[in-house]
Amino acid sequence: MQKIVCLLVPLMFVCILSADVVNPDTPKKGVWDFQLEKVWQIEKAGEDVFGRPFSLVVSDDGHVCVYDAGNDINYIFDGDGRFLKAFAPAGQGPGEIQRQGSSFITDKKIIIDGMGSLNYFNKKGDYIKSKKKDILQSVVHIFISEDECITAPLTLIHMSDGNGKIRRLNLESGKDKAIAAFSVFEGGVASSKSQVVDVIVPGLTPTMTMAYAEGRLYWGMNDSYVIHISGLEGNELGVFRVRRKKAKVSDSFKKQYFSNDDIPPDMLKQLVDGLPNEIASFHRIDAQEGLVYVFVPELELGEKWPNIKQIDIFSLEGEYLYRAKLEFGDDLKPLFSPLHNIAIKGKDLYIVLTDKDDNVLVSKYRIKLPIDSR
């Protein structure tokens, strides 16, 4: 289906073509085999054994930055998997991070989002500076450069009327431009007397996710398999979707997420009732080398958290080309994170895995991409 929007302006007639691509749950070119070939695998950062890595980001030259929430610190490895440095521990001093969120690598700098500030380091882990987040209205999702980012709310607590905007923000000038608007998920909130709890359950709570490549922003709330394409000036370039049935979950399954939390029964019921009864359609979007990769959560019997074992591969215009499965053998499985523990960079895949003894491993695999097979 094609949607054509025509704008009449003085002395010219401009037509903007916006494609709506509806894909069946059958990729056009079938199953893709990444042909995973292990390059290296590490289970320690210096003398530190990995606790629970929450994010993994990779620079263009292959340096790997891992935030380990279990150890409350960040680690850097070079392209050969050699440990370089531990840096940015939890704390409130210069070079320390309070309540760390996402990590980013851009302009040869590592940027770490913490409570109240964005913290800049060089790729060796040396502290450079911090910027207060007082001009930010919501969550940073992407850095286009070290001074320019894309922001959007994650949940209702960031946007009280239920409507959110994706914005392009220059951190130096304060210039702010709305790119697109969307509705924010209104569940996951419970109240009792003066207490209010706002909960995000990764893989279950609908959240905003996005990627940026070649001047295009790919974004969507992951409660449905609908991904929008926008230009940085706010122009709509298209939308694509996949007709896929989502996996159901029960109330008892949802309650297990709160088994270790001291939540009053009335609030617990509100949280369970407010959460979706289905697993999210996708967990992360990535775009590079002329393709869009959508990481799909799956829920295995007996597992508390969903995991990433499937990647859907699309053209930049949203045509569903391939479905790829991630199988690592030797009783290895991906370690799920509310952020992202998997990254594709060029012809390499970086991932956090666990083995049968629950040891945590950071691994690099050489992969075959379908770039030349389109």
280: domain CATH number is 2.120.10.30
Q: Is residue 139 part of a domain?
A: yes
Q: Where are the alpha helices (DSSP H) in 114-261?
A: 251-255
Q: Where are the alpha helices (DSSP H) in the chain?
A: 251-255, 265-274
| pLDDT, averaged across the chain | 89
Say if residue 17's pLDDT is above 60: no
pLDDT for the residue 370: 92
Say if residue 11's pLDDT is above 50: no
Nearest to 340 by CA among 368, 366, 365, 311: 311
Nearest to 59 by CA among 10, 117, 106: 106
pLDDT for the residue 258: 84
Say if residue 137's pLDDT is above 90: no
- What value does the mean pLDDT take over residues 118-122? 97
Lowest mean pLDDT among 31-40, 73-82, 111-120, 132-141: 132-141
Q: Is residue 135 part of a domain?
A: yes
- What value does the mean pLDDT take over residues 317-321? 96
Q: Is residue 155 part of a domain?
A: yes
Length of the chain: 374
Residues 327-352: tens digit of each pLDDT: 998 789 999 998 999 999 999 999 99
159 vs 109: CA distance, rounded Å? 30
The domain in which residue 367 lies consists of: 16-373
Residues 18-65: tens digit of each pLDDT: 579 999 999 999 999 999 999 999 999 999 999 999 999 999 999 999
Lowest mean pLDDT among 23-32, 245-254, 258-267, 363-372: 258-267
More reliable by pLDDT, 82 or 201: 82
Backbone angles phi, psi at 232, to 5 degrees: -70, -15
pLDDT for the residue 30: 97
pLDDT for the residue 362: 98
Residues 169-205: tens digit of each pLDDT: 999 999 999 999 998 887 777 777 767 777 888 888 8
Q: Is residue 1 part of a domain?
A: no
Place of tokens 């991904």: 227
Say if residue 243's pLDDT is above 90: yes
User: Is residue 50 a contact partner of residue 372, using CB atoms and an 8 Å limit?
Assistant: no
139 vs 278: CA distance, rounded Å? 25
First to last CA, the chain: 22
Number of domains the chain is built from: 1
pLDDT for the residue 18: 54
Say if residue 13's pLDDT is above 70: no
Q: Is residue 34 part of a domain?
A: yes
- What value does the mean pLDDT take over residues 222-226? 95
pLDDT for the residue 7: 35
Backbone angles phi, psi at 272, to 5 degrees: -65, -45
72 vs 49: CA distance, rounded Å? 12
Say if residue 4's pLDDT is above 50: no
Q: Is residue 161 part of a domain?
A: yes
Say if residue 16's pLDDT is above 50: no
Q: Which residues contact 77 (CB under 8 A, 6 or more apart)?
A: 42, 45, 63, 64, 66, 83, 84, 362
Q: Is residue 165 part of a domain?
A: yes
Q: Is residue 320 part of a domain?
A: yes
Q: What is the DSSP letter of 136?
A: -
Say if residue 216's pLDDT is above 90: yes
